[in-house]
Copies of this chain bind each other. A is one copy, B any other.
Amino acid sequence: MEQIPYKIYLEENEMPAAWYNVRADMQHKPAPLLNPATGAPMTEQELEGVFCSELVQQELNDTDRYLPIPEEIRAFYKMYRPSPLVRAYCLEEKLQTPAKIYYKFEGNNTSGSHKLNSAIAQAYYAKKQGLQGVTTETGAGQWGTALSMACAYFDLDCRVYMVRVSYEQKPFRREVMRTYGAHVTPSPSDTTAIGRKILSEFPGTGGSLGCAISEAVEDAVSHPGYRYVLGSVLNQVLLHQSVIGLETKAALDKYGIVPDIIIGCAGGGSNLGGLIAPFVGEKLRGERDYRFIAVEPASCPSLTRGRFAYDFCDTGRVCPLAKMYTLGSGFMPAPNHAGGLRYHGMSAILSQLYDDGLMEARTAVQTDVFKAAEEFARVEGILPAPESAHAIKVAIDEALLCKQTGEAKTIVFGLTGTGYFDLVAYAKFHDGEMTDYIPTDAELEKSFATLPTIG
A-side interface residues toward B, CB under 8 Å?
Answer: 5-7, 9, 11-12, 75-76, 78-80, 89-90, 108-110, 112, 149, 152-153, 171-172, 175-176, 178-181, 374, 377-383, 418, 420-421, 423, 426-427, 430
Beta-carbon nearest neighbor of A82 in chain B: B7
Residues on B with beta carbons closer than 8 Å to the beta carbon of A421 = 420
Question: Is there contact, CB below 8 Å, between B381 and A176?
Answer: no
Question: For A426, what are the chain B residues with a Cβ–Cβ distance below 8 Å?
Answer: 175-176, 178-179
The answer to whether B181 and A378 have CB atoms under 8 Å apart is yes
16 A-B pairs with C-beta separation under 8 A: A5-B11, A5-B78, A6-B12, A9-B9, A79-B380, A79-B381, A80-B381, A110-B377, A110-B382, A110-B418, A149-B381, A171-B427, A175-B427, A175-B430, A178-B426, A179-B377
Cβ distance A135 to chain B, nearest Cβ, rounded Å: 20
Nearest CB of B to A289, in Å:
32
Are B383 and A179 within 8 A (Cβ)?
A: yes
Known A6-B12, A110-B418: A378·B180 in contact at CB below 8 Å: yes
Assembly CA distance A178 to B429 (angstroms): 11
Among all A-B residue pairs, the 4 with the closest Cβ atoms: A172-B423, A6-B78, A175-B423, A152-B378
Q: Tell me the bound Cα distance from A408 to B180 in angstroms.
A: 29
Bound together, the chains give a CA A338 to CA B277 distance in angstroms of 44
> A171 contacts which chain B residues (CB < 8 A)?
423, 427
CA–CA, A79 to B376, complex, Å?
Answer: 13
When C-beta atoms are compared, the residue in chain B nearest to A11 turns out to be: B5
C-alpha spacing A180/B423, complex, angstroms: 13
* Chain B residues whose CB sits within 8 angstroms of the CB of A430 once the complex forms: 175, 178-179
A120: nearest chain-B partner, CB-CB: B381
Chain B's closest residue to A425 (CB) is B175
A6 to B426 alpha-carbon distance, docked (Å): 35
Assembled-state Cα–Cα distance A87/B270 (Å): 30
> In whole angstroms, how far apart are the Cα atoms of A172 and B173 in the complex?
13
Minimum Cβ distance to chain B for residue A90 (Å): 7
- B residues less than 8 Å from A180 (CB atoms): 377-378
Smallest CB separation, A195 vs chain B (Å): 24
Closest Cβ–Cβ distance, residue A174 to chain B (whole Å): 9
Pairwise interchain contact A176-B12, C-beta atoms closer than 8 A: no
- Point out the residue from B5, B76, B153, B423 that lies within 8 Å of A378, measured CB to CB: B153
Asked whether, in the complex, the Cβ of B78 is within 8 Å of the Cβ of A110, the reply is no
Q: Looking across the interface, which residue of chain B has its beta carbon closest to that of A79?
A: B381
Contact call A109/B381, Cβ cutoff below 8 A: yes
Q: Which residues of B contact A78 (CB under 8 A)?
A: 5-7
Contact between A110 and B5 (Cβ–Cβ < 8 Å)? no
Minimum CB distance partner of A105 in chain B: B108
Closest approach, in angstroms, between the C-beta of A426 and any C-beta of chain B?
5
Q: How far is the CB of A109 from chain B (nearest CB, A)?
A: 6
Q: In the complex the two chains form, what is the Cα distance from A108 to B381 in whole Å?
A: 10
Which residue of the partner chain B has the closest CB to A418?
B110
A427 CA / B80 CA spacing, docked (Å): 25
User: Shortest CB–CB separation between residue A417 and chain B, in angstroms?
Assistant: 12
In the bound complex, what is the Cα–Cα distance between A75 and B89 (angstroms)? Answer: 10
Which chain B residue shows the least CB distance to A9?
B9
User: What residues on B are CB-neighbors of A178 within 8 Å?
Assistant: 426-427, 430
Chain B residues near A420 (CB-CB < 8 A)? 112, 172, 420-421
With A and B bound together, what is the CA distance between A176 and B421 in angstroms? 11
- Which residues of chain B are near A108, meaning CB under 8 Å? 108
Q: Which residue of B lies closest to A76 (CB)?
A: B381
Are the C-beta atoms of A6 and B176 separated by less than 8 Å? no
Known: A79-B90, A172-B420, A172-B423. A153 touches B5 (CB 8 A): no
CA distance A131 to B75 in the complex (A): 49
A15 to chain B, nearest CB (A): 10
| A79: chain B residues within 8 A (beta carbon) | 6, 90, 380-381
